[in-house]
Amino acid sequence: MTAPGTPIAVITGASSGIGAATARQLAAAGYRVVLTARRKDRIEALAAELDAAGHQATAYALDVTDRAAVDEFASAFRTLAVLVNNAGGALGADPVATGDPADWRQMFEVNVIGTLNMTQALLPALTASGDGTVVVLSSTAGHSTYEGGAGYVAAKNGARVLAETLRLEIVGTPVRVIEVAPGMVKTDEFATTRFRGDTDKAAKVYAGVAEPLSADDVADTITWACTRPPHVNIDLLVVRPRAQASNTKVHREL
Ligand SMILES: NC(=O)c1ccc[n+]([C@@H]2O[C@H](COP(=O)([O-])OP(=O)(O)OC[C@H]3O[C@@H](n4cnc5c(N)ncnc54)[C@H](OP(=O)(O)O)[C@@H]3O)[C@@H](O)[C@H]2O)c1
């Protein structure tokens, strides 16, 4: 049973990594969380875990790139407190000269169009809440480039620009826009997905880095930003591990 007035938070990509950790922390902060991702079994298991812990959680299988499905999902909400646009990721690490356009398209689809679909569809409910929050998970890749990263960097720049422009366009409405830009986060799937299941290549991303950020570290940042008083807009949080000074300057103890 949802207590009347319990604020609702929708989290995309809640089946793993930062999204799952954010769902746990927003639930603990008192939100009724709606977990979305394509892998239904995973979000159902997480919703059951949260329910068993006395929180309020619902799972809804959703591909953020499918606009019709997103619209159908959004039609269930008259009001919404928080939307966390977390679904996303990288594919490949090829130079511009040889990168696969299909990878670039796919990264743009999920990181940019997915965020656009969800934000457009849920903006009326966020506005109707009287105090809505849109979170966009960009990346430090959305702020500076690195060799082999152009496709992901381009997509995350798109997500950053979406957040910055939306903030300008909706000023004066009761919705704030928060961009969270993490650096190196060691999650179970991000690097493995990027390297298409090659776990050796994925492990090299974090090799020798004493303490990369964890999914919980980023979830903590997101939850903190969402729980500031409604008139406080944390425009942008850039969060890196101490061992990472820039996208290309990482201290490794090898
Ligand atoms: N890890 C890092 O170093 C890092 C750094 C900066 C920014 N980020 C960003 O933070 C976010 C989360 O990253 P993570 O490390 O937690 O990665 P992850 O564990 O690979 O999680 C990605 C999530 O996105 C979901 N997803 C992918 N495509 C989707 C689609 N079309 N529709 C709906 N959901 C989709 C996946 O769920 P399903 O497969 O079940 O759909 C999964 O839950 C991403 O946007 C990523 O780019 C990560």
Cα–Cα dist 231/199, whole Å? 44
pLDDT at residue 5, rounded to an integer: 83
Indicate the pLDDT class of residue 1, thresholds 50, 70 and 90: very low
CATH superfamily of 8-239: NAD(P)-binding Rossmann-like Domain (3.40.50.720)
Indicate the pLDDT class of residue 4, thresholds 50, 70 and 90: low
Query: What is the per-residue pLDDT across 190-237, written as a single tens digit (0 to 9) for each?
Result: 999 999 999 999 999 999 999 999 999 999 999 999 999 999 999 999
Q: Which of 156, 155, 166 is nearest to 119 (CA)?
A: 166
Three-state DSSP at 30 gives coil
The mean pLDDT of 69-80, rounded to a whole number, is 98
Mutate to test the pocket of ligand 1, among 41, 84, 86 (most ligand atoms within 8 A of CB): 86
64: DSSP letter: T
Indicate the pLDDT class of residue 254, thresholds 50, 70 and 90: confident
pLDDT at residue 3, rounded to an integer: 57
The response to whether residue 92 sits with its C-beta less than 6 Å from ligand 1 reads: no
Q: Is 152 marked active-site?
A: yes
Query: What is the per-residue pLDDT across 81-111, written as a single tens digit (0 to 9) for each?
Result: 999 999 999 999 999 999 999 999 999 999 9
The mean pLDDT of 32-57, rounded to a whole number, is 98
The response to whether residue 107 sits with its C-beta less than 6 Å from ligand 1 reads: no
Q: Whose CA is nearest to atom 36 of ligand 1?
A: 13
Domain boundary assignment for the chain: 8-239
